[in-house]
Amino acid sequence: MTVELAGKIDLQRPQALAEGQFPQISTVQPQQIEGDIVGLPGTAEEVVKLRSAARVRHDHLAVQELALYSNKEQYNVTVTHGLPLGNDGENLHAQVVGFGPTIPKGAKNVAAAKEFITYMLEPKVLNQYLKGGLGRFAVPIPEIANSDPFWLEEDPHRTVHTRQTLFGPTLPIYEAYNPAIAQVDAEHVFSIAEFDVIKNGMAPEAAIDKAFRRAEEIFAKYPITQA
């Protein structure tokens, strides 16, 4: 699922995923956890097939992975995938959102705030700050990512995340094109689809179709008129 620049939803169904269509897989081998996807029923093939149709956003590393950081046994058997290749065999664009500091209107210490922001945006300081968060948010400076082993060498999950968000093709989050996607997210349309497969035994194709129908209903309420 994608949202086009014109604000329209594109529900093109992905083709079957073939071996080699995950070009940015972590070094953990999938067979280590096959058949045991987060302790719930459902095969790896079903879950991957479903998630390939859903919206995937890669502006930060999953909270769930970072929560396991101190539990190395579980952390090391968790697999982080990059996006699969598209139907045309090309890399899909990852949605990336940038965060920035703000100074509220009427602030009393504007000069001090600007000085602090200037300090925090120094490359070395920013890098240290983001590393303190275990790399949940990628450093936005390619030169730092290439020179500091933390980003591309020391952790397979972080490596995939950094390569995809900093060196791969990207696009803005879909909310920039149409606010309808906010309602899709608020209703957890694709999370419900995953639940239908994992918990309720629904076929992935049926779950995808159900999610797509609901997404289309929501987008129909938010037509974007082009200038």
Q: Show me where the domains of the chain are located.
A: 2-97+155-220
Distance (Å, whole) CA 3 – CA 222 = 12
- pTM above the 0.85 mark? no
> pLDDT tens digit string along 136-174?
888 899 999 999 999 999 988 889 889 988 998 988 888
Reduced to 3 states, what is the DSSP secondary structure of residue 57?
A: strand
User: Residues of the chain with pLDDT > 70: what percent?
Assistant: 73
The answer on pLDDT for 9 being more than 90 is: no
Q: Are 187 and 87 in contact (CB under 8 A)?
A: no
Is the pLDDT at 63 greater than 70? The verdict is no
Taking CA atoms, 38 is separated from 23, 34, 114, in Å, by 23, 10, 45
pLDDT band at 26 (very low <50, low <70, confident <90, very high): very low
Task: Provide CB contacts within 8 A for 114, sequence distance 6+.
Answer: 103
Using left for φ > 0, alpha for ψ between -120 and 50, and beta otherwise, residue 162 falls in alpha
Nearest C-alpha neighbor of 63 from the set 116, 6, 4, 135: 135
